Chain A
Amino acid sequence: MPELGRAALALSLGLALYALVAGAYAAATRRRRLARSAQNALLAAFGSTGVASIVLLGALLRNDFSFTYVAEHTSRELPTPYTISAFWGGQEGSLLLWLLILTGFSAAAVVLSRRSAPDLLPWVVPILGLVATFFAFMLVAVSSPFQTQLAPADGAGLNPSLQNPYMMIHPPCLYLGYVGLTIPFAFAMGALLSRRTDELWIVATRRWTLFAWTALGIGQLLGSHWAYVEVGWGGYYAWDPVENAALMPWLASTAFLHSVMIQEKRGMLKVWNVLLVILAFCLALFGTFLTRSGVISSIHSFTQSPLGGWFLGFICLITLGSVALVISRLPILRSKTRMESLVSREATFLYNNLLLVALCLTILWGVVFPLVSEAVHGEQITVSSPYYNFFLRIFGLPLLLLMAIGPLVAWRRASLRSLGRSFAWPAGIALAVGVVLLILGAGSSWIGLLAYTFSAFVLGSIGYEFVRGTRARRALTGGTWAAAFVELVGRNRRRYGGYIVHAAIVLLAIGIVGSSAYDTVRERTLAPGQTMAVSHYDVKYDQLVRRNGANATEFRAILDVKKNGRSVGTLESGKNSYRAEQQTSNEVGIRSDPLTGEDLYVITDQINQNGTIAFKVLVKPLVNLIWISGFVFLIGSLVALWPSAAEQRRLALRYRELRALARA
């Protein structure tokens, strides 16, 4: 059925192009039926892209190797879940996933906004149509998943490192984030084009932004865990350009989620907010460009890649077009209010924004510098971890401190006496924690000690906010503490959901600092029966076993592990040799301690002919807090995402008043 796939994609392209052209014409000439027709085209594009996706999925599940894509990314031995994940395992499939999610989100945005933001929708549709047209065009003319060939007996299989359960969820999750950022971008541009610079576009896209940001955050954590358990180098984040590609839009949208509150509360930073939305979307496109153009390996491979030039052209078009639009609308974007004090909640948000954007642009420079150096000097100069780690400390520690200070400072302005009262408890807790940690020996890493002290400050200030808020709510309404707490969170889900997310970031910071600043690494070659000591562990290499897996031969070293002299069981670490792919992968052994959050991490570096094995063993304190932070992050995001009935009533009332005015 490749013909059906190709026809469905051609139809998607036609529909997206119609949404762009007819939508723009309808918005410019204020034609109601044509605008509605363009909206329908976006909905229909979702249907036709869905049909194309079903065709590809069917071909993957049937092992139909007459599809070049299926033959290049699967094999008969490949387990079914990984056959499904091969959908996004290659370039063409992942572009199809982009378009499927984009048209799905566009259809949802159209349906949801017909009532809530009818004034913006006519201009939002052509923007969504423009992005969908680009991706549909790439799939039809440049990189089609429906190319056919004479079917070989078997396929090439899937890259072994992609044969991991995380690959079922990590890439789609990231794509939900990348593509989700299209919606706030389209609404921001729609607002500028229709000269509606009021709160409407922010209200219409708040949950889209939060959703995309949550998906990007969770997607990155899943990717980190995948790298940790599957790639087998002992870490979870390598500052790889592909990893940075997801981090940059997340940082930009984090800045936006904070600064947008200043616009809502004070009517300020309208230009800045639009620029952040543009930055986040362009970085999402840039991320896709980085991973799909081949530019990472060399700037020359970019010029050979069929996608590179198109992507770069589209990113330039979007960036220049949207910035030109912002400039043309500057007179209506100017704020009438000014910041009253440099010591206020809005000021802390502004500082946080500057740090987040600075970190984002620093990472961007680290990603593009090798390409620039290669283009200018003909030699690629790699920017490695020390560069990123340096700037993470420079910008990350003040960000952590601001996370502690922000909730304690009032809007508009705060006096020293108010600050003194608010800071006393959290700062006292932080100092006490810092002193205790110093006594316990955490001073071996000053950065670590500082990060832990700031983390305690953040947790102290969050806890204090919850306690003070619950107490005030209880004093107002009476009832139990639990009821007052639930009411407190329910009445301001965004604020308290945000605090829960801050707690997640603190857990993440503690996990990162613990596992990087206080870790232990030992490397040794062991013969069966020999033992190596690593921190408070003794690891004894017992024997090597060989067994046949579903599509690979598995070699496993069996290790006896003792902790503080007491046996805690055995651990397996080794390698898989994949038959169809003819590749080998590291299969690390990890023993997690649920009480301390510590991991014993064993890498089988090399299996020698004489029976000895070169092991690399790491002890990573608190590393499991990184993964736990993902659950806390998700809970906080869900609390913030949950619709607030009071706010919806307020907005409904406002627009009802205006409709009444219009009818009059």
Chain B
Amino acid sequence: MTALALAIGAVLAVACVVFVALPFLREPDPVEDRLDEPGALERRALELAEERDRALAALKELEFDHRTGKISDEDYRELVGPLRARVAEALRALEPHAESTEERVHAAG
């Protein structure tokens, strides 16, 4: 029983080592071995995209709350203007990045 247990244990250990080493066995000499990392531009774009999605979701929620009667017409009129402005601002803020992306594409090309 002990010999069998040790044999199974050895097979298990070898299998685990091979599995752990697999990324190196598959790519012994890779062209690129660096993890992708978002740059400053991407991080800023991500923030803006989150802000845009958040503003759009808030506007959608406000519309629905108004329809259900949770928000009165007067409150709706007070709240919808600033929210729409925020959505527009968030969309505008993303535009320069699109432009800079285009610029980068042209520069690279």
Contact A31 B74 (CB under 8 A): no
B105 to A654, Cβ gap below 8 A? Answer: no
Q: Cβ of A422 and Cβ of B53 under 8 Å apart?
A: no
Question: Is the beta-carbon distance between B74 and A417 smaller than 8 angstroms?
Answer: yes
Q: For window 41-56 of chain A, which residues contact chain B by CB distance below 8 Å?
A: 41, 43-44, 47-48, 51
Complex Cα spacing A267 to B48, Å: 12
Are A11 and B12 also in contact (CB < 8 A) when A408-B70, A661-B41 are?
yes
Contact A267 B37 (CB under 8 A): no
Interfacial residues of chain A within 29-47, with CB under 8 A of chain B in the complex:
30-37, 40-41, 43-44, 47
Cα-based distance from A15 to B19 in the complex (angstroms): 11
Which residues 48-82 of B have a CB within 8 angstroms of A? 49-51, 53-54, 57-58, 61-62, 64-65, 67-72, 74-75, 79
Instruction: Given A32-B35, A654-B53, answer yes or no on A4-B5 (Cβ-Cβ < 8 Å).
Output: yes
Asked whether any CB of chain B lies closer than 8 Å to the CB of A471, the reply is: yes
State whether A32 touches B5 (Cβ < 8 A).
Answer: no
User: Given A37-B24, A472-B68, are A4 and B16 also a contact pair (CB < 8 Å)?
Assistant: no
Q: Which of A27, A31, A664 contacts B104 (CB 8 A)?
A: A664
Main secondary structure of the interface of B (DSSP, over half): helix
Chain A residue contacts of B51, Cβ below 8 A:
267
The answer on a CB contact under 8 Å between A37 and B74 is: no
Interface magnitude class on chain A: 35 or more
B24 CB, nearest partner CB in chain A, Å: 6
* Cα A415 to Cα B72 with chains together (Å): 9
Q: By CB atoms of chain A within 10 A, which of B1, B9, B20 has the most? A: B20
A1 and B70 contact, CB distance less than 8 A? no
Assess whether A239 is interfacial by the CB under 8 Å rule: no
Q: Are A422 and B5 in contact (CB under 8 A)?
A: no
Please pick, from A26, A44, A476, the residue contacting B19 in the complex, using a CB distance under 8 A. A44
Which residues of A are at the interface with B, using a C-beta cutoff of 8 A? Answer: 1-4, 7-8, 11, 15, 18, 26-27, 30-37, 40-41, 43-44, 47-48, 51, 118-119, 122, 196, 198-199, 264-267, 408, 410-415, 417-418, 421-422, 465, 468-469, 471-472, 475-476, 650, 654, 657-658, 660-662, 664
Q: Which 10 A/B pairs are nearest by Cβ-Cβ distance?
A: A7-B9, A4-B5, A36-B23, A468-B68, A472-B67, A33-B23, A44-B16, A3-B5, A472-B68, A30-B35
| CB-defined A-B contacts under 8 Å, sample of 11 | A31-B33, A33-B30, A37-B24, A48-B12, A410-B75, A415-B75, A421-B69, A475-B67, A657-B45, A657-B49, A661-B42
